[in-house]
Amino acid sequence: MRKRKYTLLAGMILSLFNLYGQEFRPLAEGKVSYITSQNIYVKFEQAGTVQAGDTIYIRKDEKLIPLFVSESVSSTSCVGKPMGIFDLKIADVVLAKSRIPEKLIKEQAAVNAATVKVSNLQDTVLAANKAKIPEPEMKQKIRGRLALSSYSSFSNSSAFNQRMRYTFSLSADHISGSKFSADSYILLTHKLNHWAEVKDNVFNALKIYSLSVNYDLNKQTHFLIGRNINPRIASVGAIDGIQAETTVKNFSFGAVIGSNPDYTDYSFNPKLFEYGAYLSHEYKNDTGNLFSSFGFFQQTNRGMTDRRFAYFQHENSLIKNINLFASCELDLYALKNGLPSNSVSLTSLYLSLQYRMSRKLSLFASYDARKNVIYYETFKNYLDQMLEDATRQGYQFRINYRPANFMSSGITGGYRFRKNDLHPMLNLNGFLMFPQVPWINASVSLSTNWLQSSYVNGMIYGVRVDRDIVPSKLSSSISYRLVDNTYPNSNTSMLQHMAELELSWQINRKFSFSVNYDGTFDQTNKYNSIYINLIKRF
């Protein structure tokens, strides 16, 4: 039966190449350039990478998680409001599906229209000579990045600690004008004087997030081999194996066969065999985009079913000034009293709605419900503990108001709870931002945050100043936060002062350098950290 199942699956993958559709869009890498309490700003290396309404993703637990939907874009940057609560830092890497901007398409159409007469004349001459116009060759395009990062931490209560990180990413489209393309994203992270851990297992330090080769059978159909995260099935995470996809008009169909990366060190593990298929639909008009995808996956461990689930995601901005996002996962397999069951269980559900009432006022609301994801073979020794944890649920709302060009404001509220929590978590955040203060030629943000939970109650007050020292070359930021926390379980309180200073230098078009200092001080402890980053692009 197993051989027959695999034969049918291989036949399904091969049948993909008889279909037609549109060209596959690879993932493009960007980085977080600025963060406020309400917005996330992202910068990409190439102009036209994203458009308004596109979804920006972040890697989390080795998966792609939707971070925000871009609300406005410039040539290389975009901005949007986060879909949930994320622990982000400046220069964190994000991903978006690369595309050709609509503006360039329109410009190209205008150029084509202006050259109709010339083209017609050329066609006449060629027809008379019974000649054919040769098809343009695929152009090779290579882009990459090499980064060297150092993270050092020290305090009056702990020893000096330094961690080094080396990042290499390379995307090569149509190598030597062929139908082959390649993609890689590799990290090597280690602590100084801890090489024994690396020698014991190189994958304690080496993390390969992407290493794949893509082949375009035609403009509609392609297949990929290696490790890659497919943005159409982002919740599945990285896949080691073969992926195939084809499209018919607005529909795309894909199939996957391979294995999951090892859950302990993210190395290759063929014992975690998996397979699945997905169907997606994409539509675009002058108002916005609509994208839906549905997938089914079977994951195993040593031949035994580990997890079986279905995945659905929907993004919709077709209605003017409204952005809707929804995603859910349904587990289709469970073990009850040691016996397999095909029961259906809702593992996760996320809904968000954003409404821009006017240029000055926008509203946002979201609902998040998630359970522990159970891999019945991998986590079989912890099943009882994991099954006892109830669903975590949370609500979030946000109001943004821009009363004038020189000021914007916003309020964010959140409510999150679990069955076992003594007290649900409540938080309320407010901010004022002045994008250009004339006397200092800088951007100034003021913020306050109130938090109440079963383990901490507190207030946070903050101020941040961002300024270009040399426009487009050297920029700086400085921030200060006062944290006043009370811990109900121990009836104690703590007052902390937190300061941050950052300098970023764009040495030239291909080299950039940044240094960040972060300090936290209370009555007894002084924590310090320094983050240094040097990037070479090619």
pLDDT for the residue numbered 386: 58
CA 204, CA 195: separation in Å to the nearest integer? 10
pLDDT for the residue numbered 49: 72
CA 280, CA 285: separation in Å to the nearest integer? 17
pLDDT for the residue numbered 231: 80
Kindly give the confidence (pLDDT) of every residue in the chain, 538 residues in length, as a single tens digit, with 9 standing for 90 and above: 444 444 444 444 444 334 333 334 456 777 776 665 556 878 776 666 777 667 788 876 556 677 877 766 655 677 777 765 566 766 677 888 654 443 433 444 443 444 334 344 444 444 444 444 444 457 899 999 999 999 999 999 888 999 999 999 999 999 999 999 999 999 999 998 888 888 899 999 999 999 999 999 998 999 999 999 888 887 788 899 999 999 999 999 999 999 999 989 999 999 999 999 999 999 988 888 899 999 999 999 999 999 999 999 999 999 989 999 999 999 999 988 778 888 899 999 999 999 999 989 999 999 999 887 878 888 776 666 656 555 778 999 999 998 988 899 999 999 988 777 778 899 999 999 998 888 888 999 999 999 998 888 999 999 999 999 998 899 999 999 999 999 988 888 999 999 999 999 999 989 999 999 999 999 889 999 999 999 999 8
CA 81, CA 87: separation in Å to the nearest integer? 14
Could you please report the per-residue DSSP string of 135-162? PPPPPPEEEEEEEEEEEEEEESSS--EE
Residues 6+ apart with CB under 8 A from 338: none
Query: Strand 392-404 relative to strand 322-331: parallel, antiparallel, unpaired?
Result: unpaired
Candidates 33, 29, 61, 60; CA nearest to 184 is 29
CA 192, CA 202: separation in Å to the nearest integer? 15
Residues 476 and 464: beta-carbon distance below 8 Å: no
Give the other-Cβ count within 10 Å of 276's Cβ. 23
Residues 254 and 232: beta-carbon distance below 8 Å: yes
3-state DSSP assignment of residue 343:
coil
